[in-house]
Amino acid sequence: MTGPRDGSPDDPEVIGVRHGLFGALGTGDTSGYGGLIAPITLDANSSRPYGSYFDEIADLLETELSDDYSDAIEKVVVFRDEMTLHVSRTHLRQVALLLRNHPDLRFELCLGVNGVHYPDDAGRELHAVYPLTSITHKRRLRLEVSAPDADPHIPSICDIYPTNDWHERETYDFFGIIFDGHRSLTRIEMPDDWEGHPQRKDYPLGGVPVEYKGTRVAPPDRRRSYN
């Protein structure tokens, strides 16, 4: 791996530019009315040593996965004392089983799965994030898996972590990620006949414009734009 040797990320990966009224950084215009522009970035690969217990986890995974390691672990990000393993969806179950079962890892608790939508991240627009906890070793870890919008399939890990049952259903409902192998992947929040997935960033927000002291603020669906 390349980059600084303090475990901090390299320069972030820029995947697009956000235009809109709010959310821009690094500009003197803080009014929100200037049509601000902000880069859309993802954390870059971190370099060794990662620090804390993170190197031990990486060493064990590299040893146990052997020739599969480079295909299974796409990227390692250490940021603000947290470690995220970006895992290939084809190796998710293999990595999850190893993290749960290895006596020196023992991440026996998964705290669910959260969806993320990056419309500008071509070929990996949908992300699923799994926070793991080792009660045995008092450690935390996060897995992140991506899938393209055109093929939104990620293997279910409900049989490995039963607590993910309803979390996978919720993520399917709100983001449209299909968890293959789930025993009953149905909507959990929205009506069964609802069209679309409300937490995707291209989902219309609706709303009405507001006028205040001569300034017209656009409705929410115009206030944030992702293209």
Across the 227 residues of the chain, what is the mean pLDDT of every consecutive 10-residue run? Answer: 42 78 54 64 90 96 95 95 96 98 97 94 95 97 97 97 96 97 94 92 77 74 54
15 assigned to some structural domain: no
The total number of structural domains in the chain stands at 1
Confidence at residue 32, expressed as pLDDT on a 0 to 100 scale: 53
Q: Which domain holds residue 127?
A: 46-180
18: in domain? no
Q: How far is CA 219 from the centre of its chain?
A: 28
Phi, psi for 164 (deg, rounded to 5): -80, -5
Please report, for the domain that includes residue 86, its CATH number: 3.30.460.80
Structure pTM?
0.83
**H/E run at residue 179:** strand 178-180
Indicate whether 41 belongs to any domain.
Answer: no
Tell me, what's the pLDDT at 55?
A: 97
| pLDDT computed for residue 2 by the predictor | 34
Domain assignment present for 139:
yes
Q: Is residue 108 part of a domain?
A: yes
Long-range contacts of 80-83 (CB under 8 A, 24+ apart): 81/52, 82/140, 82/142, 83/50, 83/52, 83/54, 83/57, 83/140, 83/141, 83/142
Q: Is 82 left (phi over 0), alpha (psi -120 to 50) or beta?
A: beta
pLDDT for 226: 44
